Structures are given as structure tokens and as C-alpha cells.
Amino acid sequence: MFSLSSLAAELGSNSLDQKISCVAIEELDEQDKSAGKSILRFQYFPESISDTKNVNWNPRDIPGGSLPLYQWTSSGERAISFQAIFTTDVDFSSEALGSAGAVALWNRLKAAGESGRNVDSRSAVLWLRRFMMPRYGADTQVGVPLTSAPRKLVLHIPGSGIGLTHGGLSMVHDGHDFITAIMTGCGVEWVQFFPSGFPRIAVVSLSFAQVAQFQGAVYFPAPDDYEDTIVYGDTFEPSVFPYQLAATKIEPIK
């Protein structure tokens, strides 16, 4: 009853509806292709989302110079973090209701359309932390198991422009509102429990880093004419440039 498949079915679906303002994670396989039905839409939209971007300049001291000369080496990490909250109003533990009673209660909530409000946060945490762990395959000829790195993911934040606000699209995906990333942190605070020990509220602190590697190639995001048109465009055309600001053309300082 408390499998990931039931959790995903209640929190979202196995397809992403861009008309719904929600945050979702899509799992990729070892070839960076969609892992099928592995999509989790969060129960609540985060109250806030942190999006930081670094740049690396190497200072070179010049004898007699009043300032060092800076050599650009790379535009560093882009990190995104937020808190995901999972709650339930019902204690589904078998200790509280018995196995048959828990199943019957779940079915009644599902029939009433209330199951999305009552999530087994243990299953959610299990699913999320899989992105922090390697996978081990069969032993190789030298007797060492094959080890696969933790899987990449696609982070969807509809309406946010997260795929664009890094400075440009990376061409990994043709989309404004999602990025390919790795999970770099997954801290859990179990806030409340029922007397049975079943978690009532869980707060999960998630952090991600955008990646350029995708399906064996490297795609670096960079501004191009599309972004320049959004910033400097003369006309407001939301159907073409959905993040262009009306009446805010940047004029040169005179």
C-alpha cells in the first residue's frame, strides 16, 4: 500500500502537466534517458527556492600594480535548494489500525479524492535518497562489482524560468522551466509523529547542482540571440518570449 508507485500516483502522475504549478523530479537512467514512470510531484510548492551561481576568476598579482589582473577560468557551480514538506492527517500504521483497517481507510480516502493530502513520507524520503546512492551491478571479470554513479534527474519548476535564468539554455532540453541536475543534499527532519511512531510531518531539505553532461556529451549553457531579445526586445511577445518583461526595455545610459 505504501509503495512509491502509489505515492507518485497520488502526488502527481506519470506525466507532467505544465498547466499545474508544481515542482517535480523526473528520474533518468544510466544513459540519461527517462526512467519511465519515475516522476514525483511534490505535495506542496516550496515556500522559497534558493538559486545561486558562482564564477571563477583567477587573480594574478602584477609587481607595482594597484590591482591584480583577473583571468576568467570558468563560470562555476549553479546550486538550487529548497525544502519539500510531506504531511498526512491519518495514521496508516498497521499498529494503529491493523493491516486490513489501514488498507480500507486508504481506499476510502482515495475514493474521496483525499489521498493526495495524506502521504507516507517514509516512501518519499526513500525515493529521494536514491539519487544520493550508487548502484551495483554484476561482478566483472576481475571480480569487482560494476558501480554506477547516482542517477541524474530533471528538476521541473513550471513557470519559474529555471532553465533560462542560468544565463541561457544549455540545449540539453528545449525548455525554460526545467534543468538536468544531480542531487547534492537530502536532509530530513521528522517534525511530528503519531503515537504509533508513524511520521505525520517530514521536512526534506534538498539541494541540486545543474550539470552539463547529458547522454555522453557536454552542453554548456550560454546566452544567445534568444536571451538578448528577451532582455532588449522592443516589443512584448509573451507567446514567443514568455519571460520578456512588458515595457521594461533596457535603454543605454546617456
Cα separation, 122 vs 210, in Å, equals 26
Helices marked H in the chain — which ranges? 4-11, 94-97, 99-111, 121-129, 225-232
Q: Give the model's pLDDT for residue 186.
A: 97
∠ CA 225-213-16, rounded to 5°: 75
Q: What is the mean pLDDT of residues 14-34?
A: 72
Q: Give the model's pLDDT for residue 130.
A: 93
Over residues 113-134, the pLDDT tens digits come to 666 778 889 989 999 999 999 9
Residue 97 sits at φ, ψ, to 5 deg, of -120, -15
Q: Give the model's pLDDT for residue 19.
A: 42
Whether residue 212 has pLDDT greater than 70: yes
Q: Which of 79-88, 190-199, 239-248 has the lowest mean pLDDT?
A: 239-248
Cα separation, 218 vs 164, in Å, equals 17
The mean of the pLDDT values for the chain is: 79
Over residues 147-204, the pLDDT tens digits come to 889 999 999 998 888 887 766 655 565 567 889 999 999 999 999 999 888 899 999 9
Lookup: cell for 231? 532582455
Q: What is the mean pLDDT of residues 80-107?
A: 78
Cα separation, 15 vs 23, in Å, equals 13
Over residues 38-69, the pLDDT tens digits come to 788 898 999 999 999 999 999 999 999 999 99
Q: What is the mean pLDDT of residues 74-92?
A: 91
Q: Give the model's pLDDT for residue 176.
A: 79
Burial class (CB in 10 A: 0-12, 13-18, 19+), 150: middle
Lookup: cell for 96? 494503529
pTM for this entry: 0.79
